[in-house]
Amino acid sequence: MTSEPPAGPSSAGDATPSAGDTAPSAFNFSSVDLPKPGDKLVLDGKEVTVLSPVGRNGRPLRSKLFEVGVMFEPRTDEGQDFLCCVPIPDSATGKTRRCGALLKIPKGSLGNPLRHVKKKHYDAYCCISKESLAKKDRDHAKAPSEKRKRARGENGETSGQGGQSRPGFSGNFGGQKGLDLGRRCVAFCCNQLLPLDAAGKESFTAFVRFIGRTGQVKLLRTVTEATSSLYYLLEREAHERQEALVGRIGDLKSQFYWGLPFLDVSVDHRFVPVPAVRISFRNERGKVEEAVLVGGATSAARLRQQDSDQALEAGVRDIFGEYGLEGAYPRLVQRLSVVQGGERRPLGPPATRSAHISGYLNHDAGRSREEVLRVFEDCCERKGLRDDLCKEMDAYESLARGGGGGDGLPWDAAAFFGRQAEAESSGEGRFPLISRLACSVQLTGEAPQDALQTTREVRIIQAKDFIVEGYDGEFGTVEELTRRTLFIKHNSGLA
Ligand SMILES: [Zn+2]
């Protein structure tokens, strides 16, 4: 199928599954778990009804977009009326789940969801937009490999037959094993801030041979033969880790936090070449997870205005937008701060929400349960939990009084919830709602804010020494390559 011209209108969806075992794979539409018209769903705390894809003129909408997503009514509070249903791996459970992204279709214009699918699910996009993946990969592979041939001519190597006789890009990786190896090579280069062509160097091959994995040497040669394939993998890897991050945060938001904000976000100006936005949160087991967002030029310009808290916050929102988290910002961020000279300074108005919750949980007499109930009901998307929460509060308060909180002695809520985390995550705890609150304000401690980069790494980045020598911009600007590289380097937990 890969040699078929991509222009034919029927060439897109149906022919795809055969490419499944040689990655990068084309998209399989039958894998989409699509709700049916009339189905009821709860989205962002609101019950909605799935609509049939009909345009304003009453005629059915034929876009293949409606094979990977549905329209619904009424709109969410944020005005969205389209649900993306592309299956994605859930980084927590390893199972496949719906993407779940919510988008707006203003006056029936499909631009937003199409942009989303292009950005987040490129394989699906290629099939939807009739731009077959095979063509994309051929384009990807062909031009670079001819340039590569010229470049290699200088040192006497040959690059094989170029793109011409290769039906698809997958040939460059020698199948799934080669693709996996290529991705590991790319992640290695990113982690070590090595130029991508380092993995194709003789010394690297010699090392692989030395450690006795001779079977890998041939594969390594195949994978690294054209640097273009490594640039392709760099983009793919960065993209997949970004999806994993957005998926992880979305899962936690809807499945554990139920809408309570839970991200501790800090802007770190020590990071180069642009300030980094660091995110930490307590997961459903009470453990800290962290991620680092590396923004583009617009967000960087705002983040550099260190004197203006408004600009800093706008910069953080920009980055959230760049990573596909824009609409969720107010529901996600519970604390925002800036790291200056190793010190964290809170940004914006004091976080009264956190103060109420922490105060109450620490059995501070000045904080009544009413304030906490209000906070909970304001944020929580699951309604009708007031009675349950009150019961937990009764038990919690008597425990705290017995444990020292009642007669002037301190009650150490942080230690209590630290011990409690295991029981709650296994479903045997007595405080499932209150421990969500404790996790959301990170009562049991915040993530450390050590510098992310060594001085050596800073020098390498500033000198752009991790970019392949003579790079001519054909796989994106140096800024884009830098972003992808640093995002991969600093988010190894998302691999
Ligand atoms: Zn999606």
**Considering the domain boundaries, does residue 303 fall inside one?**
no
Is 56 in the same domain as 158?
no
Residue 88 CB neighbours (<10 A): 21
Is 147 in the same domain as 121?
no
- CA dihedral (479, 481, 486, 492) in degrees, to 10, reads 150
Q: What is the pLDDT of residue 152?
A: 35
Per-residue pLDDT, averaged over 143-151, amounts to 39
CA 420–ligand 1 middle distance (angstroms): 35
Is 98 in the same domain as 189?
no
CA 100–ligand 1 middle distance (angstroms): 6
**Considering the domain boundaries, does residue 395 fall inside one?**
yes
**Considering the domain boundaries, does residue 6 fall inside one?**
no
Q: What is the pLDDT of residue 400?
A: 86
CA 370–ligand 1 middle distance (angstroms): 39
Roughly what angle, to the nearest 10 degrees, separates helices 133-153 and 227-251? 140
Count the domains in the chain: 3
Q: Are 193 and 494 in contact (CB under 8 A)?
A: no
Q: Are 360 and 411 in contact (CB under 8 A)?
A: no
**Considering the domain boundaries, does residue 224 fall inside one?**
yes
Q: What is the pLDDT of residue 109?
A: 75
Is 97 in the same domain as 166?
no
CA 327–ligand 1 middle distance (angstroms): 14
Is 75 in the same domain as 118?
yes
For residue 281, name the pLDDT band (cuts at 50, 70, 90): very high
CA 75–ligand 1 middle distance (angstroms): 18
H-helix or E-strand spanning residue 321: helix 309-322
CA 137–ligand 1 middle distance (angstroms): 22
CA 70–ligand 1 middle distance (angstroms): 11
Q: Could you tell me which residues are beta bridge partners of residue 103?
A: 82
Q: What is the pLDDT of residue 254?
A: 86
Q: Which domain holds residue 57?
A: 27-128
CA 234/CA 140 separation, integer angstroms: 13
Of 63, 95, 128, the last residue of a domain is: 128
CA 90–ligand 1 middle distance (angstroms): 13
Q: What is the DSSP letter of 167?
A: S
Is 108 in the same domain as 145?
no
Backbone phi, psi, residue 158, to 5°: -115, 150
Q: Among 128-137, 141-150, 438-447, 451-460, which range has the highest average pLDDT?
A: 451-460
Question: Please, what is the average pLDDT of the chain?
Answer: 81
Of 128, 148, 176, the last residue of a domain is: 128
CA 322–ligand 1 middle distance (angstroms): 15
**Considering the domain boundaries, does residue 21 fall inside one?**
no
Q: What is the DSSP letter of 98?
A: E
**Considering the domain boundaries, does residue 340 fall inside one?**
no
Q: What share of the chain in percent tops pLDDT 90?
A: 35
Is 145 in the same domain as 123?
no
Q: What is the pLDDT of residue 123?
A: 82
Is 492 in the same domain as 433?
no
Is 67 in the same domain as 116?
yes
Q: What is the pLDDT of residue 403?
A: 76
CA 87–ligand 1 middle distance (angstroms): 8
CA 409/CA 395 separation, integer angstroms: 19
pLDDT at 468 over 80: yes
The conformational region for residue 442 under phi > 0 = left, psi -120 to 50 = alpha, else beta, is: left
Closest-CA residue to 295 (of 479, 461, 468, 489): 479
Q: What is the pLDDT of residue 481?
A: 95
Is 419 in the same domain as 493?
no
**Considering the domain boundaries, does residue 193 fall inside one?**
yes
CA 212–ligand 1 middle distance (angstroms): 42
- Alpha-carbon distances, residue 86 vs 200, 256, 294, 343, 428 (angstroms): 35, 22, 26, 42, 34
Per-residue pLDDT, averaged over 248-274, amounts to 92
For residue 406, name the pLDDT band (cuts at 50, 70, 90): low
Of 128, 162, 184, the last residue of a domain is: 128
Tokens read off for 98: 């719906």
Q: Could you tell me which residues are beta bridge partners of residue 333?
A: 263
Q: What is the pLDDT of residue 266?
A: 94
**What does the pLDDT look like over 411-456, one tens digit per residue?**
888 889 988 888 988 888 899 999 999 999 988 777 778 899 999 9
Q: Map residue 121 onto helix, strand or coil.
A: coil
CA 228–ligand 1 middle distance (angstroms): 27
CA 397–ligand 1 middle distance (angstroms): 43
pLDDT at 146 over 70: no
Q: What is the pLDDT of residue 439?
A: 93
Cα atoms in the Cβ-side hemisphere of radius 13 Å centred on 203 = 2
Q: Are 283 and 289 in contact (CB under 8 A)?
A: yes
CA 95/CA 97 separation, integer angstroms: 6
CA 343–ligand 1 middle distance (angstroms): 37
Closest-CA residue to 475 (of 463, 484, 466): 484
For residue 405, name the pLDDT band (cuts at 50, 70, 90): low
Backbone phi, psi, residue 257, to 5°: -85, -15
**What does the pLDDT look like over 192-218, one tens digit per residue?**
999 999 988 889 888 888 887 777 888
Is 123 in the same domain as 145?
no
CA 118–ligand 1 middle distance (angstroms): 9
CA 234/CA 227 separation, integer angstroms: 11
H-helix or E-strand spanning residue 268: strand 263-268
Residue 207 CB neighbours (<10 A): 11
**Considering the domain boundaries, does residue 366 fall inside one?**
yes
| Top-confidence residue, 170 or 110 | 110
Is 118 in the same domain as 194?
no
Per-residue pLDDT, averaged over 75-89, amounts to 90
